[in-house]
Amino acid sequence: MPQLSNTRHETFARAVAEGKSQTQAYIYAGYSENGAGANAARLIANDSIRQRILEITETIKIETEAEQKDASIGVFKELDKLIRGATGLGQYYAVYRAVALKAKLKGLL
């Protein structure tokens, strides 16, 4: 679904998807604070806005998962370097701790 043609509706949908309350999102989108709660509920009832919120939420979820995967790859590479270095120095307790941490991060422990 493309962006909503109404800029305020799009801003509202993005704000809700990013975690603001409906009322906060309504005000953030540039609407008046007067009656914000009731009017925000009216906007949420709009099918196109609800669909847009779901779409944005899914996109955020996918991006977050990708960022977490990239971060975990970096952590595992650093732990692998630590393991190699500690092994070369005979620091087997450090090797043990690094291997245990990798196993814990992978959900094995």
**What are the chain's domains?**
7-105 (1.10.10.1400)
- Per-position DSSP letters for 24-71, written without gaps between them: HHHHHTT--STTHHHHHHHHHT-HHHHHHHHHHHHHHHHHHHHHHHHH
pLDDT in tens, 70-79: 888 888 899 9
The DSSP symbol for 109 reads -
Q: Is the pTM of this model over 0.85?
A: no
Residue 85, pLDDT score: 93
